[in-house]
Amino acid sequence: MNVTLETQIGTPWKKPPFIKNSTLRWGLLIIAVVYFFMALGSMDVNWNRVYQGLERGRRFVAAFLHPDFGSRASDIKEGMMESVIMTVTSTVVGIAISIPIALGAARNIAPLPVYLVCRFIISISRALNEIIVAILFVAIFGFGPLAGFLTLSFATIGFLAKLLAEEIEDMNKVQAEAVKATGSSWLQWINFGVQPQIMPRLIGLSIYRLDINFRESAVLGLVGAGGIGATLNTAFDRYEFDTVAAILLIIIVVVMVLEYLSGIIRARVQ
């Protein structure tokens, strides 16, 4: 295209489009609009039922203004304790298992067969939703926090090992080589050449995962895997919105505190 000053003068400026190819742009737009209406059309909403539910919705919102911590205090306390315990143990065990898997899943450290096996473990763990894993573990190990603990540990592996392996692959080779040049054994090489480089990231990720595990432990109770979720489910079934509001507020506060702490710690190690 011949763009000169003479041809440009007098024509108003237009914003450059986000997608340059105009056929692709219009094609995507038309597909999106058609899909949007098809999807909306297939969603039959019973507006009558929604209208009836609004009253209950109003009660739920009102419940947040006067949450009831008292009448189910012992149930809430027990559920919270169980959630916290599951979070702590599963994070510790998850990290302990993730580290060797992360080492195996880093192409610059592990040989190809080990790499493939470790990557396979990671992708299995990432593809399965926590709730589905929890259902299977409850069926196999019985009800209770053990199933929840195993679920969260399993989910931690996929998350932590993947991100840690990427960090190891991005590390500075020179430092590791310098340690190797001193005649160190493999374990010494990992301990003094690799580990110091990935430590800040490992600490940051572990604390982030602690936060996620707590949030997840709140729902595992819905399928019988222990934690505050069971209490929450019972409260919903009885339409005790005051108790529900209390539990949700506790979860929000704990998550906020954890996030605040993790921010401080991550800022410190980096």
Partner 1 sequence: MPINDRNGVKVWQVRDRNNQLIRWAMWMAAGIIFYVSWMKISDQTTWFFVYDAPRIAADIGGRALPPRWGYISQLGKPIWDTLNIATLGTVFALMMAVPIAFLAARNTTPSKLFIRPIALLVIVSTRSINSLIWALLLVSIIGPGVFAGMIAISIRSIGFCAKLLYEAIEEIDETQVEAITATGATRWQVMVYGIVPQILPAFAGIAVFRWDINIRESTVLGLVGAGGIGLQLQSSLNTLAWPQVSLILAVILVAVVIGEFISAKVRGAII
Please give the residue ranges that form the binding site for partner 1 (CB under 8 A).
15, 18, 35-36, 39-40, 42-46, 49-50, 53-54, 56-57, 60, 81-82, 85-86, 88-89, 92, 127-129, 131-132, 135-136, 139-142, 144-146, 149, 215-216, 218-219, 222-223, 226, 229, 232-233, 236, 239, 244, 248, 251-252, 255-256, 259
Nearer to partner 1, 104 or 221 (CB): 221
Nearer to partner 1, 116 or 132 (CB): 132
**Longest pairwise C-alpha distance within the chain:** 81
Query: Smallest distance, Å, CB 35 to partner 1?
Result: 7
Query: Smallest distance, Å, CB 192 to partner 1?
Result: 8
Is residue 9 classed as helix, strand or coil in its secondary structure?
A: coil
Q: What is the DSSP letter of 21?
A: -
DSSP assignment of 42-101 equals T----HHHHHHHHHHHHHHHHHTTS---STTHHHHHHHHHHHHHHHHHHHHHHHHHHHHH
Query: Smallest distance, Å, CB 212 to partner 1?
Result: 10
Query: Smallest distance, Å, CB 71 to partner 1?
Result: 19
| Structural tokens at position 140 | 């196999």
In angstroms, rounded to a whole number, what is the distance separating the alpha carbons of residues 51 and 58? 11
Query: Smallest distance, Å, CB 39 to partner 1?
Result: 4
| Structural tokens at position 113 | 């067969």
Q: Specify the DSSP element, H or E, that contains 116.
A: helix 112-127
Nearer to partner 1, 92 or 114 (CB): 92
Nearer to partner 1, 49 or 268 (CB): 49
